[in-house]
Structure 1
Amino acid sequence: MTLVRRATAELLGTAFLVAAVVGSGIAAQRLSPGDTGLQLLENSIATGAVLVALILALQPVSASFNPVVTLVELALKRVTTTDALVLVAAQVAGGALGSVVANLMFDLDAVGISTHHRRGEGPLIGEVVATVGLVVVVFGSLRSARIETVAIAVGGYIAAAYWFTSSTSFANPAVTLARTLTDTFAGIAPSSVPVFVLMQLIGGALGAGLVLLLHPESHPEIQEA
C-alpha cells in the first residue's frame, strides 16, 4: 500500500472528524442556545458517531487521525519514521481543512481565531487521562479479529470522554490545532494549545507503556488491503 494512499486517508479522515466536531458544535450553539449541557451532548454524539463511520470506512487503508496514535505506532514499530512524519503532516493539514470547511458551511469566516481559553490544572489532567485511555482502547481493540471492534470502541470512548474528562477530551494534537481556527463552541485559544498538546504527548507515552505492559507479545502490523 502506497504512502500516498495512507496519507490521503489520514487527511480525509481527520478533515471529516474536525468538520464534525466543529460543525456539530456550531449547530448545537444555534439549536440549543443557553444550554451548555445539551450543546455538549449534541457535540459528543456527533463526534462519536462520525468516528465509528470514518474508522470503518478508512481502516483498511489508514485510520489513526491522530498524531499521538501515529507516534505510538512508531514506538511499537508498526510504521517507519518517514511514514509517521508524512501521516502526522497529513493529519494536521486535514484538521485545518475540516475546521475551515465547517466554518464556511455555517456562513462564518473561513478562519476565526478562537478566544476560548482552556486553563487550569483540572483540564490538563483531563487531557492526560483522555489520551491514556484512548491509546489503551485503540491498541487493545486492534487485537480483535473483528474489524468493526476498533471503530465502535473508539467512537464510544470519545463520546463518553467528552463527559467524564474535565477537558472534554481533545486527546489529539491535530484536532487541537485545528480547533484554534474557529471561534465557536468547539474552539480553543492558541495560547492554550502548547500545554494541551504537551499533556496529550505525556498521555500518549503513558498509554504506550500500558499497552506494552498489558500486551507484551509482539505487535504485528495491521493487514493491508
Structure 2
Amino acid sequence: MPTLLHIDSSAFHEGSVSREVAATFRKEWEEQHPDGTVVYRDLAADPLPHLTADAITAAFVPAADHTPEQRAAHALRETLAEELEQADAVLIGTPMYNFTIPSSLKAWLDQVIIIGRTGGEAPSAAGTPVTVVTARGGSYAAGTPRESFEFASNYLEKVLTGMLGLEVDFIVPELTLAHVNPAMADLRDKADASRARAHEEAVAKAKVLAVRVAA
C-alpha cells in the first residue's frame, strides 16, 4: 500500500495553520488509503541536527574507516534518504519565519540531500509528488507590496525540484496573523477565506494524489 512521508516544521502545535491544513490533507489521504503507511516527522518536537563536517566527510570515507561521529552522522542521513526514497508521496507543512522556512526544515533538507544519491543529476526519488502547505502571516502574493520578500515557497520550489527532482505542488494559506495582530483586524475576513480555501484545496489535492498513486 502507498506510503506518505509527512513532515511538520512549525514551532507551534496549537494554532499552527500549516499543521492544521497539513492534517486535513493527511486525514483525506488516510481515508483513501486506510491500509497505507504514514511516516511522520515533527521537526519541532524532534529536531534534526544541522549538517556537520562529520556528516559531509562520511560520504567520502570507506565505511570501515568511519569515526564514531561519522558513523552516527552517516546513519542518520541514510535513514532520512530511505524515508524519502520509499515514499510514494510527501507532505510538508511549514510556516514562513522571517521571510523564509524554519531552520528545522532547512536542517532536514541539508541532511536528506545527498549528492550522487538523492541529489544531483539522477535523484533517487525523482518524480515523487510533494505537497507543501506553507502558511504566511501576511500576504506575499503577486502584486502585493511584499511580493519580493517571499523566500519560502520560492526557495522550496527550487530546492525540491532542482536538487531532489521532486514534483511540487503548493497550498498557501495567507494572512494567518490577522486574528492576533490588531493592525491586521480589517483583513480577518480575507484571512478566514484563505484558510477555508486552503482546507478545501488540501482535501481536493489529497483525493487526486491518492488516486494517482494507487493507479
What's the TM-score bracket when you normalise by the shorter of the two chains? under 0.3
Normalising by structure 2, report the TM-score.
0.27
Q: Higher strand proportion, which one?
A: 2
Give the structure-1-normalised TM-score: 0.26
Larger Rg: 2
